Structure 1
Amino acid sequence: MTGELWHHLAAQVEQLDAQAGRLIRRALTEHTAALRVQVAGRAGTGRESVETQVRELLLRRVDIEGGQVDAAVGGVAVDTPDGPDPVLDGDVVVYVVPRRLDPAVAHPADRAALTAVDPCRLVLVVTGGTDDSECALVARATGVPPDQVVAVRDEELLGERLAARAVVARRLRDEELARVVAGVPAAPQVRELVEQTLDLVGLDPMESVAAGLR
């Protein structure tokens, strides 16, 4: 329903202000694009296997609030010799760490990489024969919330964690779309249509404009 409101707004705006209409259409295209899911980790952590597992889970179309995930999955190598630091800015970031002899101690490269990830977009996967108690220690060592840490062998739970982060990613995209649309320069007649739509989707027009200017 919300998507229909945005597309109806774009159609109305295009008739009144072509430039504003193009800007809103561009924002809608970005909003509806497939979620970018990055699977990151150091060499030897099992990242490639987890990437395959994540891709297969998403191909099964994990349900999200009555909908389904449309996602593009890509691997990202971390801590490569002479390589640049990766940019972990996906809609969802699945970070892979191996089981360690002392799970309460995180590898420095992992800890550094994780600090650059938006926590609300993160799923931390622990490879090897890890159990729940070890996952809790890994969570404490890395600073990742325990409910976002999962053992690789628990495929059902991994699917649930992916779905939960995808829900968050979709909501963040909704908020970004509202901010962009609220900040589009337009004539008063168009501004009125924008404010009416923001009101219908439950967002305060002035708050959205202010957020877009920050």
Structure 2
Amino acid sequence: MTDQSSNPEKIIDVQWFTDPLCSWSFAAEKAIGEFKDTMGNRIVFHHRMLPLYQLLDTFLAAHEMKAPSEFASKVRKASKATGVEMTTTPWEKGIVPKDGSILSKWVLAALSIDPVKGDQYLRQLRRAFFVEGRDLTKTGSLRDLGEKVGLDPEILEKLSSGESIRLQLESDIKKGSEEGVSVRPTLVMVNSGGDRIFIGGLRDPELFIHAAEVLISEA
């Protein structure tokens, strides 16, 4: 039997469009984790940051809301629909970033230092926000979470505000637009032949795995 992982044609490219503050993405963490564990080295996995919002006031206005506390109902809806418990404390207290892209930049910075620790950092951010209800508007909190997963907080903070990470975020947003991504999370998989599968908004690990297996078999 040939080891598929040794054949570049049998490895597929996976892009996971998400955001640290997206409740549906938080609910999908278990599913995407199972998918990655099952597929192993048969996939090349990329986190793509697609900020839930950039300007908070503009974001709320688009939802016909005036205060962050009004958005708490959206989180409760996601929690009820997915069965994943989530606190709405940050939204209710208004302790959410004025610029949502800031957290995306910290995640991209963490991923650029170490992909594994970067993935852990993203999950720690979400746990802090959706489980513990912590205030992520404070730089100290973002540094502490980085240190918790073994990242140097000084380097992490410096990178997060640097030009390379700003350009990376712009690139991720552009890729999302080119792929037609309109919901978070969205999984886009492409094999060596250019065949692609686009799964938007769902969180079924068996569906993810089956789709990837089909792409590999068709490569």
Structure whose CA Rg is larger: 1
Bin of the TM-score, shorter chain as denominator length: under 0.3
Decide which structure has greater strand share: 1
TM-score, normalised to structure 2, is: 0.24
TM-score, reference length from structure 1: 0.24
